[in-house]
Amino acid sequence: MKQICVLGLGYIGLPTSSMLATKGFNVLGVDVNPKVVETINKGKIHITEPDLDLFVKAAVGSGRLRAAIAPEASDAFIIAVPTPFKEGHKADMTFVEAAVQSILKVLKPGNLVILESTSPPKTCTDIIAPILATVGLKAGKDVFLAHCPERVLPGQIMREVVENDRIIGGVTPECALQAKRLYESFVKGRIFLTDATTAEMTKLVENSYRDVNIAFANELSMICEKLGLNVWELISLANRHPRVNILRPGPGVGGHCIAVDPWFIVEACPDEARLIKSARVVNDDKPHHVVKRIREASEKFKKPVIGLLGLAYKQDIDDLRESPAVEIAKIVSDSNVGEVLVCEPYCRDHAKFKLYPLDEVLQHSDILVLLVPHKQFRDVDRKILKSKVVIDPCGIW
């Protein structure tokens, strides 16, 4: 394999493309957004991720990486497009289906097709394989089809894409082996082979496990609030037990993985996934609990100024996907409980909110709500907070 085509140049596709290019492959990155294509072809990036700009600049400068809006003939195709959910928490596979359809004209026998997008079980066998069959290419016989879910942490992608273990599932054992030959060119972690559906479920299970444990912490925080207890002290003491490791509660759960993936299991097995669904309900309800606290605090003022710190779904990144902070900000802004000042240091602008500098928010706010523990917020002078009503579901202040 010499020519690789990566479809989707977001948080997974672009790092993967640049890494493959640095390993000597000729990589064509495909994205439907012309601005993204233009930016990458200039050797620049459109997302915030440490060291990614250096990799992309080097890859484009070497001539090994270029971007386009349509795929071209290649030896391998890696699909790394979004898989959100639609109304009713049902998986929206529109982007995956469109990506597969887009490569049909250039796909040839012997090519390798890899799905990296996190997907419901049986996506490879029940969605992708039938699409390939429409042009007479049988998965596992004419073309190799495999699933290799990404397992990286935003903020550490360029390191983890290399060092983390990988799971590769093929629709046949030979499909998995073909995919392994590509990934072992840059992956230093161990590579484990299985079937495609098991690989799909592995990623969903990993994030569902984390979601369930976060739900326990979030539920504890609401119980402690009602009982008048300090949840942070309680968790710290409980974690002194050698077999207890309770996670930190927060304003909810966001991101494209933990907030989404469990619903794929619930959709596939609604009668059996009772605990997984309950955890999603708890975590989805936590933003509304934070809004309730803001409303109660607002009643102490005639016309309060409410400072909301953070919109990203986690600290020190610019990713707003499924962010509970965004949901809280929207509800508070629309409820007219007071003037709302939003600060998000990792974004230049937002479609709904005017973004303010941190100093201005700290100066003018009567109520300060820490929604994301960005490093800029963690270092706020505690003297400033003494004159404010502080709501801190992250437990930083």
Active-site amino acid positions: 203, 257
- Picking from 262, 140, 1, 256, the residue whose alpha carbon sits closest to that of residue 128 is 140
What angle in degrees, to the nearest 10, is found between the helix axes of 274-298 and 261-268? 130
Nearest-angstrom CA–CA distance, 362 and 298: 17
Nearest-angstrom CA–CA distance, 313 and 323: 4
> What burial class does residue 303 get, using C-beta atoms within 10 Å of its C-beta: 0-12 exposed, 13-18 middle, 19+ buried?
exposed
Nearest-angstrom CA–CA distance, 171 and 185: 22
Query: What does the DSSP 8-state code read for residue 143?
Result: B
Residue whose entry in the numeric block shows the structure tokens 């309950």: 278
| CA dist list (Å): 218 to 51, 223, 319 | 33, 9, 22
Nearest-angstrom CA–CA distance, 126 and 200: 12
SS3 assignment for 334-363: HHCCCEEEEECCCCCCCCCCCECCHHHHHH
